[in-house]
Amino acid sequence: MVKEVMNVGLLGFGTVGTGVLEIIEQHQDKLAHQIGAAVKVKKVLVSDLDKDRGNVLHAEKLTDRIDDILQDDEIDAVVEVMGGMELARDYMKQALENGKHVVTANKDVMAVYGSELLETANKHSADLFYEASVAGGIPILRTIVEGLASDRITKMMGIVNGTTNYILTKMSKEGRLYEEVLKEAQALGYAEADPTSDVEGLDAARKIAILGTLGFSMNLDLDDVSVEGITKITSEDLAYSKQLGYTMKLVGIANRVDNKVEVSVQPTLVPHSHPLASVDDEFNAVYVYGEAVGETMFYGPGAGKLPTATAVVSDLVEVLKNKRLGVSGNSVVLPQHKKQLKNKDEIRSKYFLRIHAKDIPGTFANLTAMFHENNISLEKILQVPLNEGKLAEIIIVTHEVSRTDYDNVLERLQNEDVVAEVKSSYRTEGEMN
């Protein structure tokens, strides 16, 4: 018998949860047309039944008992937007084991427990969709899995954290200090009271691990991601970057060569002409390189109530359509390739380096000889006098070099008599026009 109503259990009723309910209730005609049945939120799991929620939801739909959702045979799909890690993972796993399909926006769970949950979904012929876990309203995961299914993706670069992008945009374009812009971002709701996950790059690392896992069909864990945040970036770094034709962004990179991969998140300089350089404020973008399609970029809001809820409900539509068609569980494709990570000799990039050195005869010759001995050639050099001629600020952009050779030079610079201090070092990506 064909069901006329598809029932949904909603775990969590915060910002995204209320957005999911709003879209489902306001888009009933479109949902019914796409799915072939009405969609109804039957139960909503909340932690506080007594909290005043106005007239948004009938009280009888609220529950603080997870079994009211997981043990209800009439509920077809579970939408997890409660956040957190262990409890959310447990609830999703139980739902899948009970034959319920799951949609989640939880990047933390998917970055750490994604492989386990996908295997559970596969075992129980259930769907597990998680489009909203990366880049909010940008349909990047569906693009990788479906739109580029016939291509071989070799590289993905992304601005996937709106908080850090907002901070760097304001620092770069308005010359403001990090601490000041961070407070503004917190006041606007772009940054949490504890911004550590954002500014130290952990949020972006979880997302790039998910992108790498899907794009390369390889189980990549959060621990595989090399991570550096934005807290050490100075106004001098941004000014010199701009002078040399670059824009600073916190970029997640997943790169594959001959099935060996590198996954990282770090402050990165991209040329002003690169599409990522023009992605400002809280917006996100993911740049994808495919052997067949070439270069493509996907841009849009990375977070927010309705953009994220739209991604959640889009996944829900696919889940419910699959159930109606009797093809549930076929969307889960387990990784094809064994994980192989590049070593430092195989990771190659250009680098921006800013140092303070003694402004005396022979300094430049010593430095250039040191780079030459480590197989590093220099693309750009800028020198600025400091402290009435006692020190010089030297800014260097290298040609492409292995991470091993570059680390060797950094170590030597820190022990070189003519070098007063290594001020900063950043990766650069993209060719200058």
Residues labelled catalytic? 207
Interatomic CA distance for residues 139 and 302, integer angstroms: 10
For β-strands 348-358 and 419-428, DSSP reports them as antiparallel
The residues, ordered by sequence, that sit 6+ positions from 179 with a Cβ below 8 Å of its Cβ are none
How far CA 332 is from CA of 119, 126, 319, 403, in Å, comes to 8, 8, 11, 36
Interatomic CA distance for residues 189 and 280, integer angstroms: 17
**Beta carbons of 252 and 157 less than 8 angstroms apart:** yes
Residue listed under structure tokens 């915060």? 14
In 3D space, the residue among 118, 163, 110, 153 whose CA is nearest the CA of residue 134 turns out to be: 110
SS3 of 419, please? Answer: strand
**Beta carbons of 241 and 247 less than 8 angstroms apart:** yes
Angle, to 10 degrees, between the axis of helix 107-123 and the axis of helix 86-97?
Answer: 20
Interatomic CA distance for residues 286 and 293, integer angstroms: 15
Query: What end-to-end distance do the CA atoms of the chain give, in Å?
Result: 62
CA dihedral 318, 304, 20, 205 (to 10 degrees): 50
SS3 of 103, please? Answer: strand
DSSP codes joined into one string, 200-222: TTHHHHHHHHHHHHHHHTB---G
Number of Cβ within 10 Å of residue 189's Cβ equals: 12
For β-strands 153-159 and 246-257, DSSP reports them as antiparallel
SS3 of 100, please? Answer: coil
Interatomic CA distance for residues 296 and 157, integer angstroms: 11
Query: Which residue(s) pair with 263 in the sheet?
Result: 254
SS3 of 339, please? Answer: coil
